[in-house]
Amino acid sequence: MKKKAMALTMAAILAAASLMAGCGQTAGEETTAQTQAAEESVNETENAASEANGETQQAAADGQTYTIGISQFAEHGSLDNCKEGFLEGLKEAGIEEGVNLTVLFDNAQADTSTAGIISDNYVSQGVDMICAIATPSAMSAYNSCLDTDIPVIFTAVSDPVGAGLAAEDGTPEGNITGTADTLPVAAQLEMIREVLPDAKTIGILYTTSEANSISTIETYKELAGEYGFEIVDTGINTLADVELAAADIVTKVDCISNLTDNTVVQGLQTVLAKANEAGIPVFGSEVEQVKNGCLASEGIDYVALGRQTGAMAAKVLKGEAKASDLNFEKCEGANLYINTQVAEELNITFPEGYAEDAMEVFDEITVE
């Protein structure tokens, strides 16, 4: 039986209220502003969709055409890479934007209510599929499509089971499937132990309303003892909470391990600034975070994850499979990424062979 994923939690609602107050506006004024901004974005998408759809239909007049709505929860490197890989995966399967594919794209800017508006709009336009990037967007798309025949393909969802999108055996909870970016926690802990042989405590910041972050922290705590670590975690509600939480946690730990938590990733530069002041390293969870100033990471390739998702989506669009019949997939393996400039600034020496074993070595910090 289908059931609604709890996309709008009380924590998210309180988080939104907190952010509104921090911006110096009343909750009502800010909510109205957010709603108007979301509606304006929707209108722009509808106009663009009309123009793009006409061009696509003309380009593929003799064949099947498709329209996909891509709902991305936040703007940061790993999710951007997912989108890039998703379109690559579709193209490799013969479904290409501007040829036989119209793409509608919206970014919720880390706002759960906006994610719901976006997916509702896609449903009203009768898209052939919604691609939801990150857990909150996936949950919103799932809810929007419950009483429709529109399939949802998600990506960058760390815990589809915990998010209510799949059963324990991996089978879909409806017409929805996709790929999970489950972090290789054991590999990350092993790397941290090798790089910091004397470290005892690892700090983790997370958003209390993100199911994927909560489940990942549980995994960290389950495995930490095997590597001689204690996990110190601090929850936040909004982006505005990051600075205070980061300033506090750096006084309690030997290092920080950053998740793929959407809100915390948006505030990564704030976390890095506080950690640098305290002279402790921050380990990332994927390549973009290492580019942007984290010391190292054992992470997955998000372009590859998106490509894997695109291949699944193509099967559904072509009628080769139903989303409801496809178990979600994981991106297997972990890649080592290191940043030598960060190591030099923190006076840390990587173990012998790290540079040779790394998938990529960065000798500078790139802040987008």
β-sheet bridge partners, residue 362: 339
Number of other CB atoms surrounding residue 98 within 10 Å: 12
pLDDT, greater one: 74 or 13:
74
pLDDT, tens digit, 9 for 90 and up, residues 110-129: 899 999 999 999 999 999 99
CB 202 within 8 A of CB 254: yes
Confidence of residue 339 (pLDDT cuts 50, 70, 90): very high
| Amino acid at position 301, single letter | D
Q: Looking at residue 47, what is its pLDDT?
A: 53
Encode 173-186: b = buried (16+ Cβ within 10 Å), e = exposed: bbbbbbbbbbbbbb
Flag whether pLDDT at 22 surpasses 70.
no
Question: Average per-residue pLDDT in the chain?
Answer: 87
Residue 115 backbone phi and psi in degrees, to 5: -60, -40
d(CA 254, CA 276): 12
d(CA 84, CA 107): 14
Flag whether pLDDT at 9 surpasses 70.
no
Confidence of residue 333 (pLDDT cuts 50, 70, 90): confident
pLDDT, tens digit, 9 for 90 and up, residues 256-286: 999 989 899 999 999 999 999 999 999 999 9
Query: In angstroms, how far is CA 136 from the centroid of its own chain?
Result: 9
Q: Looking at residue 317, what is its pLDDT?
A: 98
**Mean of pLDDT values over 70-98:** 95
pLDDT, tens digit, 9 for 90 and up, residues 197-256: 999 999 999 999 888 899 999 999 999 999 999 999 999 999 999 999 999 999 999 999
pLDDT, greater one: 36 or 298:
298
Q: Looking at residue 300, what is its pLDDT?
A: 87
Percent of the chain with pLDDT over 90: 75
Q: Looking at residue 152, what is its pLDDT?
A: 98
**Mean of pLDDT values over 49-53:** 49
Q: Looking at residue 44, what is its pLDDT?
A: 53
Q: Looking at residue 16, what is its pLDDT?
A: 38
SS3 353: coil
Among 49-58, 78-87, 178-187, 357-366, which stretch is predicted with the lowest mean pLDDT? 49-58
Q: Residue 194: which of 219, 228, 158, 160 has the closest Cα?
A: 228
Sheet order of strands, 230-236 included: 230-236, 201-207, 255-257, 282-283
pLDDT, greater one: 257 or 16:
257
Q: Looking at residue 14, what is its pLDDT?
A: 35
d(CA 66, CA 298): 36
Q: Looking at residue 77, what is its pLDDT?
A: 86
pTM: 0.77
Residue whose token pair is 């199911």: 211
Q: Looking at residue 61, what is its pLDDT?
A: 43
From first CA to last CA, the distance across the chain in angstroms is 44
**DSSP sequence for 13-29:** HHHHHHHHHHTTS-HHH
**Mean of pLDDT values over 323-335:** 91
Instruction: Let me know if 109 is exposed, middle or buried by CB neighbors in 10 A (0-12, 13-18, 19+).
Output: middle
